[in-house]
């Protein structure tokens, strides 16, 4: 049985993230989607909301589970879930510069390897922060997020401005 972790903030999940989770599942028997929450950063969606939005898309896939972790090292998440590798998407050079030091550090801390999957070019420019900024001011992000996330963004920005 092989198991990997797909970590991220997922605030909120995008079609780019979901593509990586599905592709990770084609490589591993089990995928733990780990919603990592930084307690010093206030997100748009609560950890429970992020988990529910991800579960709505991949929760029925065999071998995929979605869990949330607060204030923890990713290597400890890997240990507690008995995952043998970390899988992340790479959209381009900026991601590589951001991800490489973490991949090296995680290997140093726990001997755990990080596998990078090239993002589908369709989603190469999609990030949760950009999605939030565009949605906040009423822009159409429906091509880049699942319908449930689109609705959640609209509801959030309609009620809280
Ligand atoms: O979606 P993001 O913001 O790119 O995800 C980054 C995340 C949450 C995967 C990364 O910040 C992380 O691993 N945080 C957990 C804390 C940790 O282990 N930090 C040291 C990394 S070497």
pLDDT in tens, 79-116: 999 999 999 999 999 999 999 999 999 999 999 999 99
Mean pLDDT of the chain: 96
Greater confidence (152 vs 41) lies with 152
Q: For residue 99, how far is its CA from the centre of ligand 1 (angstroms)?
A: 9
CA-closest residue to ligand 1 atom 20: 73
Q: Are 36 and 76 in contact (CB under 8 A)?
A: no
Q: For residue 73, how far is its CA from the centre of ligand 1 (angstroms)?
A: 8
Protein fold of 3-120 = Rossmann fold (3.40.50)
What global pTM score does this model have? 0.96
Q: For residue 90, how far is its CA from the centre of ligand 1 (angstroms)?
A: 14
Tell which one of 36, 45, 114 to mutate to probe ligand 1, the residue whose CB is within 8 A of the most ligand atoms. Answer: 36
Percent of the chain with pLDDT over 90: 94
- Write down the pLDDT at residue 40: 84
């Amino acid at each position: 049985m092989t198991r990997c972790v797909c970590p991220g903030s997922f605030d909120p999940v995008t079609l780019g993230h979901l593509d990586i989770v599905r592709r990770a599942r084609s490589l591993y028997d089990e995928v733990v989607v780990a919603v990592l929450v930084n307690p010093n950063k206030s997100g748009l969606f609560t950890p429970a909301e992020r988990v529910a939005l991800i579960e709505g898309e991949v929760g029925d896939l065999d071998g995929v589970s979605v869990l949330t972790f607060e204030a923890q090292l990713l290597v400890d998440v890997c240990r507690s879930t008995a995952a043998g590798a970390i899988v992340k998407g790479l959209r381009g050079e900026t991601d590589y510069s951001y991800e490489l030091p973490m991949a090296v550090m995680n290997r140093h801390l726990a001997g755990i390897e990080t596998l990078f999957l090239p993002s589908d070019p369709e989603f190469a420019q999609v990030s949760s922060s950009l999605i939030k900024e565009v949605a906040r001011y009423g822009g159409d992000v429906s091509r880049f997020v699942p319908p449930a996330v689109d609705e959640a963004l609209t509801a959030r920005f309609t009620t809280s401005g």
